[in-house]
Structure 1
């Protein structure tokens, strides 16, 4: 009996990948709240954009709703990592609900910046994607119509402020660094005095994961990104990988979604995960590849992350 040898496959494993500090904090807030207050605990919107994470928390006793009004007044409600408009905590407060805010501290920083610009009388431009919960939350920090959304370089070219000398911009935290740079360049060319963020709004984790993908993309016949289709930072990783030279790139929820045809004839496959995707899904994908190939794994880590965020005091007391 002849045993056919598996073809060799090199996996370039991008690092950092997967959970960032903001996602880790948000998930812990839900877990600790269930532990402290018992089930059910309500969560407004998906706590993070990952089906696996949401499914696991549902099994623990989290109930996901889209509006505060869908939750009973006598149970805790948690706001997702993406941030919420000011009207949301105001509604919870008016109903005398116990609420916990799992907004990523880096998103909260953008909210504070937008408020400061508004207080200083500047017209505010938000670079981001229409309809994304983070964008809805940031625009909802200020009165309706105060923040102007810009999605493309074309939007930046078409933007006509009331006073060109008194403009500021902030950005969604999960954008492509390179694409955003093009939009910012267009705004700065048109409005040389535009007020910029004190520190880059695109979060360290988004930047680091994109840099890690850029470091492996050119060598990859195929890049596989683990993440959900509604995860902005995961979708950006696919785009960044293709732009940086990957032969092909695919976004998949988990190993079960891998199409064998994608990697037929491939010698080098890149693997990464969006900031809301757990590491066990990455390891599951590598195990799936090992069923058909003789896999060797090389981790490529241009940067190391050491950031952590504190949990709300009410959950740690």
Structure 2
């Protein structure tokens, strides 16, 4: 998995009674602008000295605005606390210090909010480092804070599910693994608990599975296990088919027939270095700009 990627969030505001979406740039009796509310939320986080949820924690490290573009940029420090850890010098192996249970080893994660004047959507591009993402803590806290301030309205935050991005990735990808999953109840299992069996198909090292299988899975949404496996398996027993595809060294896992998994976009393909601010925000602006263009929203 690439070290640094970008995920996209779709932000909308709904009127509780009517369930109608309202314009984030002008809603409620005071004609509130979500562009300004986001700034107020970040200030709230700073006053509260960060947000804690379980063993997860984040705070605002720095922020700035580009009001003419209706953009707000910020960097959040995010991490886990509660487990005593050590810091060692990777050159000589010496024990340098300890991280206390109340301290947080954190990742600096950048975000860009774009809140157009028109339309009923705002978008947030957020940095993901490996699997570290602040969204699981930030989104529920932001919604709770918003609800307290705006009686009669609620904030909805969803991941952008981009089928086009997935199709672009699958074009030119190779099929690296194929797994059929079957859930059964064993005859001798008195409790009647189901058992799960996995049938894995992998290529010879350095090769790929037949490309025709991937084409059939994309076009038909199905590939009979009986045509692939050398052992006798009833196709009716197969409940799920998973594939691992690879493109330009990047692997992704997909469950066929299910909703697309969350897609994250590489910032600097092939690099494990932290991208500079300019590169991160340029890629974030490009992704949000493409999204606004597809939705015919004039920024």
Q: TM-score range by the shorter chain?
A: under 0.3
Give the structure with higher Rg (CA). Answer: 2
TM-score for both structures, normalised by structure 1: 0.23
Larger fraction in strand:
2
Larger fraction in helix:
1
Larger RCO (alpha carbons 8 Å, 6+ apart): 1
